[in-house]
Structure 1
Amino acid sequence: MSFTVTPGMRRLCASVLGMESIVLALVTPVAIVVNDVVPGVAVPVCVGLALACVVVAGMLKRPSAYIAGSVVQVLAIATGFLVPMMFFLGVVFAALWVTAIFVARRVEGVT
């Protein structure tokens, strides 16, 4: 089974990851101030995931980047253990990620 990367898929997925990186970076102060998470945990986790989103967005020409992006989605959901609202937001971004892949492939006629 081959996975063809299309230009529309790259654009949509990069948009999702870009927005997600902003949300993950903004979760850092919420985790520290509101949820009393130790900064030594919140900063590497949240900012690290935000940077991972940016790196993966830059690699979206490769099919393996879509696997990495899916892993980022799972890890974003897991940040709900630091900030419970991220369980919801992580699922929303994961749904957007999956939708971006399938809608772009369908619109561009890739089977």
Structure 2
Amino acid sequence: MRMLCSSTLIGEFFVIGFAGLVAMKDPDLSGAVVWTVCGVAMLLSVLLCGMLSRPGGVQLGWALQIVLIVSGFWVPLMFFLGACFAALWWASIHFGLKIDAAKARWAEQAEQGSSAA
């Protein structure tokens, strides 16, 4: 699960950066505010890659997904991209857990096979 979720978070890192470039075109937003918010979100996406195996890491990832969707109020395309990344986040967790369970079964079967021989 960790590998799939980390891949999603790294993709979000780049999308947040590009959304910051788009947000800079809004005359109502100052550059300092845009890059502070984007910088914190980008840093969080990278830090979450290392926190996925810790308690609350996945929940913080969900919080980041919500923030991405809500950022659509400033950059309308982020409604769509945030929803896409939320779906990717769900799929990363869902299928990642299935892959982890299958790997554990295979390792157990391999261990039983080698101990029987």
Q: TM-score, normalised by structure 1?
A: 0.84
Structure-2 separation of matches of 1:18 and 1:31: 20
For the aligned residue pairs, the C-alpha RMSD in angstroms reads: 1.4
Decide which structure has the larger Cα Rg and report it. 2
User: Which structure carries more helix by proportion?
Assistant: 2
Deviation of 1:106 (Å): 1.8
% identical aligned pairs: 38
* Segments of 4+ moved more than 4 angstroms: none
Deviation of 1:43 (Å): 1.1
- Any unmatched runs of 5+ in structure 1? 1-8
Aligned residue runs from structure 1 range 1-111, under 5 A: 9-33=1-25, 35-36=26-27, 37-109=29-101
Deviation of 1:87 (Å): 0.7
Structure-2 separation of matches of 1:78 and 1:41: 16
1:77 touches 1:90 (CA, 8 Å); kept in 2?
yes
